[in-house]
A and B are shown apart, each in its own frame.
Chain A
């Protein structure tokens, strides 16, 4: 079945890099996503990676995928206070693209 796990909390200092980790169980995952939720708002897609890729970079964001270990990470370089939010890892599986399974979310706290 589908299951996505991530740690609940991460605290970093402003200017440092943040790394948020996630593991998933479904080997037929096709797309893996990182969504961001700011206080009082809905989720917003940050980035995604197709399962045949192992890395994707987008400005300050780097996504690494280890398909063998079913491990996904999101690295935020030069973390800013505006990056403080909850980050959700998510997956969609082959044949069920529109149904996305979300992790519980990692709350990132950036200390000035």
Chain B
């Protein structure tokens, strides 16, 4: 398996623009997570899905952020409008329920810079 795939790997945009980050989880995994990593706050869970249904979005910073999972193999995280404080590395991860370790498999991340 190719692992969790994220695109783009790098995104530079201007303040006010819409940004869409994409994720393809590992085939067969039924959980998908979106995280944000910054130097100041570390790794923060934004939202996670189970079987394409959002379970907990309490980490989503504000209404400018939205996430969707239209099917088992694709998810998006959208920021509209973007602001400089959204600059961070955004990770997508997936996992498979029923496994004892509950290991999460992370993608390589998308580095977002908002100028």
Contacts and interface: CB of A to CB of B under 8 A. Distances in A.
Interface of A: 31, 40-45, 48, 88, 92, 97-105
A42 B45 CA distance: 14
B79 interface: no
B75 interface: no
B43 A102 contact: yes
Contact of A92 (B56, B91, B102, B108): B102
A40 B21 CA distance: 17
A98 B106 contact: no
Contacts of B107: 42
B108 A42 contact: yes
A45 B108 contact: no
29 contacts: A31-B101, A31-B102, A40-B108, A41-B108, A41-B109, A42-B106, A42-B107, A42-B109, A43-B43, A45-B101, A45-B103, A48-B101, A97-B102, A98-B31, A98-B48, A98-B95, A98-B97, A98-B102, A99-B45, A99-B48, A99-B56, A100-B45, A101-B45, A102-B42, A102-B43, A103-B42, A104-B41, A104-B43, A105-B43
B108 A88 contact: no
Interface residues of B, number: 21
A42 B4 contact: yes
Nearest to A42: B106
A43 B106 CA distance: 6
Contacts of A41: 108-109
Given A48-B103, A98-B102, A100-B102, A105 B42 contact: yes
A43 B37 CA distance: 11
Contacts of B41: 104
A61 B63 CA distance: 43
Given A43-B43, A45-B101, A98-B50, 8 more contacts: A31-B101, A42-B108, A43-B91, A48-B103, A98-B48, A99-B45, A99-B48, A99-B56
